[in-house]
Chain A
Amino acid sequence: MADGQSPHGPGEEPLAPAGPVGPAPAVRPFLVTAGRVAGAGEAASGRAMPVETQLVATTEGIDALGRLSFEQHDIVAACRVPQSIAEIAARLRLHLNVVRVLAEDLRSVGQLSVHVPDSGVTHDASVLRRVIDGLRAIPDSRGVLRDSD
């Protein structure tokens, strides 16, 4: 590994690396995805995974945790409980687009399952009604429900 400039190989142990950890955070995203970045153009055309897309570890992914390193390891580990792309980006301090690329990589090897919400379903009246009912049940800070005042 040339001073942190190559992507972390699958065989490497996810232990503290010796020496410099890598370039500045601003450059780092391009390293972990081996130079690929999900493009803004994709987002514009609706092909990028929405930020609320759910990521879930598969049993294969959990079994592979010991062999995964760094970001891949952390994503699969965090996704033992379903997480959105945005949550993973925030918690692991990665760019959204880096998470998108890594999620696709992990999905393609069966270690992560990627659930893109169907916009037709999320906009469906029955779903919206359930959200409305659920929200109405949230009390305000004084414990007053919306419909009880």
Chain B
Amino acid sequence: MACGPSPTPGGYSVTPTEPLARPAAGQAAVRPPLPVKLVIAGGFGVGKTTAVGSISEIEPLTTEAAITEVAAGVDDLSHTPRKTTTTVAMDFGCITIDPTLKLYLFGTPGQERFGFMWDDIVEGAVGGLVIVDTRRLDDCYAAVDYFEHRQIPFAVAVNAFDGKVEHSLDEVRWALDVSEGVPVLVFDARERGSVRDALLVVLEQALARSGG
């Protein structure tokens, strides 16, 4: 049920993650890997889940993403009608790099109106991949804006549905008005190698940003 092989206890000396605070008594029975997070964003139905599934070592898992209005007055147990929570599916997968390091891929919900809860998913991410369907370019503006404003390294990946791209990459770049340093590429969300290469482009962006 674990996502990938479990780390060997004591198998390495570097501490990849620091416990939030040392528990009163308990020690983690096993040392967890350091989780590195990438976010897969884009409009509705552009192939985010497909991309995660192509490369994840587990079937993409789905969870309900953040609750909205914090449900003040949650002690009111009969409050279903005035419930102000929204649940949306967020799916994710992972790739074990080695027992000490694991890459997580999180797909944001596609609809623009869920932008408010991206923070909950994106917090701490090293980079983002914005997937674009050239037949519906404007669907990805929200994601592009989001990463630009937060200065999160990202790349734009045009998903070539049926091998066809309706616009050239230059046209896409022009239409999205992304800055020069942002890579724009074509990929196939169903192809593991293609998704891998798109993620590598994002990671290279992140590496350049880190000064490495």
Interface positions of A (Cβ within 8 A of B): 5, 23-24, 26-27, 29-31, 35-37, 39-41, 43-44, 46, 48-62, 78, 80-84, 86-87, 89-91, 95-97, 107-119, 121-132, 134-136, 138-142, 144, 146
Contact = CB atoms under 8 A, between A and B. Distances in A.
B143 interface: no
Given A30-B74, A56-B32, A91-B1, A113 B193 contact: no
Given A110-B26, A124-B210, A115 B20 contact: yes
A133 to B, nearest CB: 8
B64 to A, nearest CB: 6
Interface stretch (B90-98, B130-138, B158-166, B172-180): B90-98
Contacts of A29: 67
B179 to A, nearest CB: 20
Contacts of B63: 86, 89-90, 95-96
Contacts of A124: 210, 212
Interface in B8-34: 16-21, 23-34
15 contacts: A26-B80, A35-B75, A40-B66, A41-B70, A51-B104, A60-B26, A82-B2, A82-B6, A82-B32, A84-B94, A122-B126, A128-B207, A129-B212, A132-B207, A138-B95
A121 B80 contact: no
Interface residues of B, number: 78
For A112, A136, A141, the residue with the greatest tally of chain B CB atoms inside 10 Å of its CB is A141
B79 interface: yes
B30 A81 contact: yes
B61 A131 contact: no
A107 B92 contact: no
A32 B95 CA distance: 31
